[in-house]
Amino acid sequence: MASELIFRGHESQQTPDTYSPKPNKPWLSIIRPVRYILREQRLIFTLLGILIATLFFSFLPTHPGPTHPSGPTTTHLSTTSSFPSSPQRDFFADKFVNSGGKIPLGLKTKGLRIVVTGGAGFVGSHLVDRLMARGDSVIVVDNFFTGRKENVMHHFGNPRFEMIRHDVVEPLLLEVDQIYHLACPASPGSHYLLLESLILVYKTNVVGTLNMLGLAKRIGARFLLTSTSEVYGDPLQHPQVETYWGNVNPIGVRSCYDEGKRTAETLTMDYHRGAGVEVRIARIFNTYGPRMCIDDGRVVSNFVAQALRKEPLTVYGDGKQTRSFQYVSDLVEGLMRLMEGEHVGPFNLGNPGEFTMLELAQVVQETIDPNAKIEFRPNTEDDPHKRKPDITKAKDLLGWEPKVPLRKGLPLMVSDFRQRVFGDQKEDGATTA
Ligand SMILES: NC(=O)c1ccc[n+]([C@@H]2O[C@H](COP(=O)([O-])OP(=O)(O)OC[C@H]3O[C@@H](n4cnc5c(N)ncnc54)[C@H](O)[C@@H]3O)[C@@H](O)[C@H]2O)c1
C-alpha cells in the first residue's frame, strides 16, 4: 500500500482574512525603560553618570597645547571669548589648563607656538634660544633695523623655527599661543639723529604695538610688552618702583623712545581692560651681554668695544650718574617667568646693583685693558642722573631676581665682542653664566 502523506498544517494556520494584530500600546515603550531604570538603584547610577559627564565637559580643556605650527588653537579663542571668565573657570584654567599660553610645570607635553617680534635683536635672540631649547615652535618677526640674521642663524633648518622679514608697523596674521613683543630699536644710537628713524621708533612703538595687540586679541594669544626703565624718565624717586609715574620730557631728543614706550604700555592696558587680552608688561633696565650691537651708543657696549680697540673710554658728564646692569640671561629668565605667570605687571626687570659710569669704566679696565684711558665728554640731553630698579614686586610675585653680577657677566660678553670687533665670526655668543 502506498503510503499517503497528508499535510495537516493548513488546519492550524490562520488565513490572511482572519489576522488581527495586537492593539498598539505606545505607553509601553516609555514605561519599560522607566521601570528598568527604577529597578536595582539604576536611577542613582544614571544620575551620577550625568553629573560626572556634566562636570567633565564643563571643565574639559578644548585644546591642550599647540600641535601644529600654523593651525588655530581653540583654547585661545574660547579663553578670550569667555573673558572675564567665571571664578570657577579661572581656577581650573589657572591650575590645570593651558590658558592663553600658561602651562603649569609638569603638565606641559608639547611646545607652544610663539612669535618673538624683534627676535633677531640682542635680547630677542637670547629669548629665542631659550624658547627653542624648551621645545617651543618659534616665529621670529624682524625687519633687521637693528637686528642681525646672524643672531638666530644657528636655528635655521630647525623645523620648529621660522623667520619672517616684516615691519610690525604693517599688520600681520599669524596663529600662535604667545606673543613676545620686543620689536623696537632699543639704543640711542646714531639712528636717533635722523627724522625718519625717530618717526620709525615712534611708529614701531605705537602702530607696531597696536598691530600686535590686535593680533593677540584676534587669535586669543597672550601678549608680553618689553617696555623700559625710560618710562621713569629722569626719576625723582630712587630706586624706582612700578607705582612711580616718572618724570619724562615729552619734547626731548629721545622722547620718541620714552613716550613711545609709555604709549605702548597704555595701549597694552587698554586692550587688557577693554578687550580682555591677556597681557604682561616688563620694564627692562640696562641689559648687556653677547650679541649687543657694537656701536649703538649703549654705555656697556661702548666701553667694551673701545677698550678692545685700544680707544679711550668716553664718559659723558662727570661720570657720577648711576646705572644698574643686568646680564641678558637674567632678563630672559624674568621675561619667561612673567609670561608664564599670572600677573600683568608692570614689573621692573633689572639688576639693582648700582654703578657710576666711572665705576663701570673701571670694571671694563680690569676685565679688558688696565691701561685703557678715560675721556670725558659733555653730557647728552635728558641723560637720567640715577637709575636703579626696585625689584621687590618681581621677587615676590615672580620669584625672580638676577643672579649674574657685573664682574662675572662682563667677561662673557667680551669674548663675543672680541670676535666681532676683530672680524672672527667662528664662535657663537654664549648666554649662560
Ligand atoms: N637692551 C636693553 O638694555 C633694553 C632696555 C630697556 C628696554 N629694552 C627693550 O627690549 C626690546 C629688545 O631690545 P634689544 O636690546 O634687543 O634691542 P635690539 O635693537 O637689539 O633689538 C630690537 C629688534 O627689533 C627689530 N625691530 C625694530 N623695529 C622693528 C619693526 N618696526 N618691525 C620689526 N622689527 C623691528 C630690530 O631689527 C631688532 O632686531 C626693545 O623693545 C627694547 O626697547 C631693552
Residues 338-348 have pLDDT tens digits of 999 999 999 99
Q: Report the atom number in ligand 1 closest to the C-alpha of 204.
A: 31
Provide the pLDDT for residue 221: 96
Choosing from 202, 232, 257, 288, the catalytic residue is 257
* Residue 223 near residue 326, CB atoms below 8 Å: no
123 CB near ligand 1 (under 6 Å):
yes
Provide the pLDDT for residue 73: 33
169 CB near ligand 1 (under 6 Å):
yes
Neighbours of 74 (CB within 10 A): 12
Residue with cell 633689572: 350
Provide the pLDDT for residue 268: 98
Provide the pLDDT for residue 332: 97
Provide the pLDDT for residue 379: 76
pLDDT tens, position by position, 231-245: 998 888 889 999 999
> Based on the number of CB atoms within 10 Å of its own CB, is 222 exposed (0-12), middle (13-18) or buried (19 or more)?
buried
Q: How far apart are CA 185 and CA 189, in angstroms?
A: 9
Q: How far is the CA of 111 from the centre of ligand 1 (A)?
A: 25
Determine which residue's CA is closest to atom 25 belonging to ligand 1.
118
Q: How far is the CA of 100 from the centre of ligand 1 (A)?
A: 24
Provide the pLDDT for residue 97: 37
Q: How far is the CA of 144 from the centre of ligand 1 (A)?
A: 10
* Residue 111 near residue 134, CB atoms below 8 Å: yes
Residue 224 reports pLDDT greater than 60: yes
Better pLDDT: 399 or 80: 399
Better pLDDT: 67 or 221: 221
79 CB near ligand 1 (under 6 Å):
no
Range of lowest pLDDT (10-19, 153-162, 229-238): 10-19
Q: How far is the CA of 227 from the centre of ligand 1 (A)?
A: 10
66 CB near ligand 1 (under 6 Å):
no
Nearest to 283 by CA among 340, 326, 219, 312: 326
Mean pLDDT of 318-326: 88
Q: How far is the CA of 93 from the centre of ligand 1 (A)?
A: 32
Confidence of residue 84 (pLDDT cuts 50, 70, 90): very low
For β-strands 322-324 and 354-356, DSSP reports them as antiparallel
124 CB near ligand 1 (under 6 Å):
yes
Q: How far is the CA of 219 from the centre of ligand 1 (A)?
A: 24
Confidence of residue 87 (pLDDT cuts 50, 70, 90): very low
pLDDT tens, position by position, 370-404: 888 888 888 776 666 777 899 999 999 999 999 99
Q: Report the atom number in ligand 1 closest to the C-alpha of 227.
A: 7
Residue 358 reports pLDDT greater than 70: yes
Range of lowest pLDDT (33-47, 125-139, 176-190, 318-332): 33-47
Range of lowest pLDDT (95-109, 157-171, 393-407): 95-109
Residue of 146, 149, 200, 335 with the most ligand 1 atoms within 8 Å of its CB, for mutation: 146
Q: How far is the CA of 43 from the centre of ligand 1 (A)?
A: 64
Residue 326 reports pLDDT greater than 50: yes
Nearest to 410 by CA among 358, 373, 364, 371: 364
pLDDT tens, position by position, 206-215: 999 999 999 9
Cα–Cα distances in Å, from 320 out to 323, 355, 379?
Answer: 10, 9, 11
389 CB near ligand 1 (under 6 Å):
no
167 CB near ligand 1 (under 6 Å):
yes
Confidence of residue 293 (pLDDT cuts 50, 70, 90): confident
Confidence of residue 100 (pLDDT cuts 50, 70, 90): very low
Confidence of residue 55 (pLDDT cuts 50, 70, 90): confident
Confidence of residue 107 (pLDDT cuts 50, 70, 90): very low
Determine which residue's CA is closest to atom 13 belonging to ligand 1.
186
Look up 202 and say whether it is catalytic: no
* Residue 241 near residue 390, CB atoms below 8 Å: yes
125 CB near ligand 1 (under 6 Å):
no
182 CB near ligand 1 (under 6 Å):
yes
What's the mean per-residue pLDDT of the chain? 80
Mean pLDDT of 281-286: 96
